[in-house]
A and B are shown apart, each in its own frame.
Chain A
Amino acid sequence: MSAAIGNTIVSLPDQSTAQIPKRNYINNEHGLLSWLLTGDHKRIAILYLISITFFFFIGGAFAGLIRLELLTPQPDLVSSDTYNKFFTMHGIIMVFLFLVPSVPATLGNFLMPIMLGAKDLAFPKINLLSWYLYVVGGLLMLAALVLGGVDTGWTFTTPLSTHYLNTHVITTATAIFIAGFSSIFTGLNFIVTIHRMRCPGMTWFRMPLFVWSHYAASLLMVLGTPVLAISLVLIAMERLFGIGVFDPTKGGDPLLFQHLFWFYSHPAVYIMILPGMGVISEVISTFSRKRVFGYTAVAFSSVAIALFGFFVWEHHMFIMGVSNYSALVFSLLTMLVAVPSAIKIFNWVFTLQQGSITFETPMLYAFGFMGLFTIGGLTGVFLGSLGMDIHLTETYFIVAHFHFVMVGGMLMAFLAGIHFWWPKMTGRMYPESLSKLAAVTTFIGFNLTFLPQFILGYLGMPRRYHAYPPEFQVLNVLSTAGATVLGIGYMLPMLYLGWSLKYGAIAGDNPWQATGLEWQIQSPPLTENFIEIPIMDHEAYDYEWLEKKTKNEVTTVG
């Protein structure tokens, strides 16, 4: 890719002499136990990366099966019960076992202490415990799956989930309950680390925006997840003892469950997207060689999203007979929460202005993120607008909307981050042209899959339908075709990243010429991250500082 001089910032060490550093966190200790009992945040991040990738492909397989069934209007591939299990397992696995931990537990875990100039997170053992909780949750989920699955939908709507289904609801609820604690511990760890373990000179406004967005997401994890846990406990109690909190015949309120559920699950959307936004800030800055435009605005918009995110949950229930006037309030708040996201998008776009832009793979994914997240965000305004929501909610429009945000936004950001920090995590580069192909494939496949679903939604096709009227078939076929392309787009990184572990070019300390503290240490880093405690004497994204530093540096050979 570096054939034409000037169109890349990648600077790799001379490959004939370069070596992976002799001592690093990967080869510091050996044997399986040294990984399973580690307190090193970087190793835990790798453990997380492996496990969430595993669950991503299981969840993805269910998505494939759903799209395959919807190729024809008739319910002909599987039975209705099986189809209901497909979308339930797809939703639960993707949300709780992939999206929520994706960026924070892998990239966040790996980078947070290094970005702050710390040796590790505040509570390394709790960090390890959180991974074990995740694994226990994941195994329980697999057990529920193998025993016959669950068909409540990921939303567990009562009284369907409490009185009318005979599948493994309690097992699944327990799995999510346990995985929830893993999320709470991660959030807790991040908050304490950010408050207490910043290196000298690292003031709040010198922190990378990646840290700010993780801070906001952590607040949501710690404050929101317990509510989900409680509502799942109530579901289990209802099933086991019939306590009747959600049962109208016993004086309970079936709608109460949805209030509780969405009180977590709306902020959960921001738990999923905020860390992704952090990745985008880092990537855009690095590949345009500029500090992020309006740093404080971007930082505070993260906090604003976290704050407003708690007060919009009822917008999932506008048609459910809530008071018209409370619907007004929640609609207004929903409009307000859309603004910080718009601010972020424009700040990223204007970071490019007067920059010196190159187009490596992470940047391509970031561009994909900005386009798709803009569409995802603006279609959210449709749903926040009361009168429009009546027609659009519970249709494929809403499916398309949240996939634009979660897949088009979050997954693109995750892949941008994985490619961006891959050299730091493994010490080796991924193959550039192949990865560019994957980024473009993903973008095309994604649009082909989900754009037709907006149209289907406005036509009125309800979500979670096993069979549908034949006039909707053309758009469904397009969507399934897109899903196939998308699937290939996701398989590719899996293959070439695996390949690069052994055959990728040696990356050196700072292949992107980035300013972050993590790029000033060796790749892969030492177990203790820094040889001496760094002193932060400049702001984040200070490219002049980097230039000066590089100039004065004595180049050591071999």
Chain B
Amino acid sequence: MGLSPVLWQFLVRWLHASALFPAEASGISPYVDALYFFLLLMTVFGTTLVAVLLLVFSIRYRREKNPVATQIEGSTLLEATWTIIPLAIFLVTFVWGALLYFRIYDPPTNAMNIYVVGKQWMWKAEHPGGQHEINALHVPVGQAVQLTMISQDVFHSFSIPDFRIKREVIPGRYSTVWFEATQVGTFHLFCTQYCGTQHSGMVGTVTVLTPDDYRKWLQQSTSGMSLAQNGERLFASMGCNSCHSGNAAARGPNLAGVYGAKLTLTDGSQMLVNDAYLRDAILNPSQHVTAGFAPIMPTYQGQISEDGLIDLVEYIKNMQSNYRVQQTQVTAESDEAAPTTPPQGTNETVKP
């Protein structure tokens, strides 16, 4: 930050005590505040310069003092000065701001993921372990947390001022943001994009817990089913497993270990399989046909909620092998087969 740490601490404490300044509760906050102070300095300097010049000229060259004006054409040197110096300052601001932007929006690879669904007018957080929260978010201190967010209806915006982060939550598209909380406590969570009647009611609390408390919280609030388990159930009940079975003769591509891989589509383009790709491929399969497969998958648009999609994505993300898919399929086939009593001696494969 360029400032001495003692001075910095003093400044930050003083500002917090005066309630004119938000808490610095995330790893990124000091960096954002440093740029803010630079910009404030620039503004105060610029405004003071203009004000002082106005004042000095007004006093020195007022009509009583200087009854006849001296006509001046201009000055290339001065013009160049006040073109180049502001430009230089603005360019510094640009570079500094750009570096910060990438820092805020590029998540570290070890970040834990939490899903957030925004809808009129509430925030729904879904932890991978199956914990659901409304207008609340529990996170551990000192751990990078990535939020994968989507809106079920209109544009919302997820903002935690004390963490200095904000990202638009968009209908039909995942957006992500990450942070690392550095202070235990509770902080405001706001929707900052105008979203209709109860816009100002779409607020919540972010609770930052110590790792131990967080583990306790996770245990106490679990719904019994993780997102991936929910996803597995959906995968079977929507019939996904009949094609994506991983068998050599299957009509759909093998999904085990597909997350993070590079796929070649029928049109020859290369796609990285991430959350957004999986979601799009479920809703809009004809645009995402893997090379070597026929475009036969029906669209699931309108048949599955955003929560359901998150469950499926989370399931496919964590799918390491097709063993359970095939097991589920076999069980399902045997269930179907059960009512008709097969002739004696031929049902060796189906033993209950």
B120 near A164 with CB under 8 A, answer yes
A163-B21 Cα distance, complex, nearest whole Å: 38
Q: Which residues of B contact A356 (CB under 8 A)?
A: 61-63, 66-69
Q: Is the interface of B mostly helix, strand, loop or mixed?
A: mixed
**Chain A positions 105 through 131: 1 when the CB is less than 8 Å from some CB of chain B, otherwise 0:** 000000000000000000000000000
Contact B100 A255 (CB under 8 A): no
Cβ distance A35 to chain B, nearest Cβ, rounded Å? 40
Within 8 A of A (CB), among B11-64: 19-22, 31-32, 35-36, 39, 42-43, 46-47, 50-51, 53-54, 57-58, 61-64
The verdict on A458 contacting B21 (CB below 8 Å), with A157-B193, A319-B167 known, is: yes
Q: List residues of chain B with CB within 8 A of the CB of A544.
A: 71
**Is B262's CB within 8 Å of the partner chain A?**
no
In chain B, positions 83-129 with a C-beta closer than 8 Å to chain A are 83, 86-87, 90-91, 93-94, 96-105, 120
Is B173 located at the chain interface by the 8 A CB criterion? yes
Q: Does A441 have its Cβ within 8 Å of any Cβ on chain B?
A: no
The residue of chain A having its C-beta at the shortest distance from the C-beta of B163 within the complex is A391
Residues of B within 8 A of A174 (CB): none
Chain B residues contacting A319 (CB-CB under 8 Å) are 157, 166-168
| In-complex Cβ contact of B101 among A378, A379, A386, A459 (8 A) | A386
Determine whether B199 belongs to the interface, using a CB cutoff of 8 Å to chain A.
Answer: yes
Chain B residues positioned under 8 Å from A381 (CB to CB): 39, 42, 90, 93
A403-443 CB mask vs B (1 if < 8 Å, else 0) is: 00000000000000000000000000000000000000000
Contact B69 A385 (CB under 8 A): no
B64 to chain A, nearest CB (A): 5
Does A249 make an interface contact (CB < 8 A)? yes
Q: A80 and B198: CB pair below 8 A?
A: yes
Instruction: Kindly identify which residue among B31, B47, B201 contacts A371, using a CB–CB cutoff of 8 Å.
Output: B47
Q: Is the CB of B94 within 8 A of A335?
A: yes
**Interface pick from B74-82, B238-246, B315-323, B327-335:** B74-82
Q: A385–B94 contact, CB under 8 A?
A: yes
Q: Quick check: A297 and B172 within 8 Å, CB to CB?
A: no
A345 at the interface (CB under 8 A from B): yes
Within 8 Å CB of A335, what residues of B?
Answer: 87, 90-91, 93-94
Which of B36, B43, B61, B301 makes the CB contact (< 8 A) with A353?
A: B61
A452 → B minimal CB distance (Å): 10
Which of B138-146, B184-192, B247-255 forms part of the interface with chain A?
B184-192
In the bound complex, residues from chain B placing their C-beta under 8 Å from that of A159 are 153-155, 171
Q: Mark B290-319, 1 if CB is under 8 A from A, else 0.
A: 000000000001100000000000000000
A160 at the interface (CB under 8 A from B): yes
Q: Point out which of B75, B170, B172 has the most chain A C-beta atoms below 10 A from its C-beta.
A: B172
Question: In the assembled complex, which residues on chain B have CB atoms less than 8 Å from the CB atom of A294?
Answer: 74-75, 78-79
Q: Which residues of A come within 8 Å of B, CB atoms?
A: 4, 6-9, 75, 80-81, 84, 151, 153, 155, 157, 159-160, 163-165, 248-249, 251, 254-255, 288-291, 293-297, 318-321, 324, 327-328, 331-332, 335-336, 338-339, 342-343, 345-347, 349-350, 352-359, 367, 370-371, 374-375, 378-379, 381-382, 384-391, 393-395, 455, 458-460, 462-469, 471, 543-544
A-B contact pairs, 23 of them (CB 8 A): A84-B197, A157-B193, A157-B194, A163-B153, A288-B69, A291-B71, A297-B74, A297-B79, A319-B167, A321-B167, A321-B168, A378-B43, A385-B35, A387-B103, A387-B104, A388-B32, A390-B105, A455-B20, A458-B22, A459-B22, A462-B192, A469-B203, A544-B71
Binding site for A on B (CB under 8 A): 19-22, 31-32, 35-36, 39, 42-43, 46-47, 50-51, 53-54, 57-58, 61-64, 66-75, 78-79, 82-83, 86-87, 90-91, 93-94, 96-105, 120, 153-155, 157, 159, 161-162, 164-168, 170-173, 175, 188, 190-201, 203, 284, 301-302
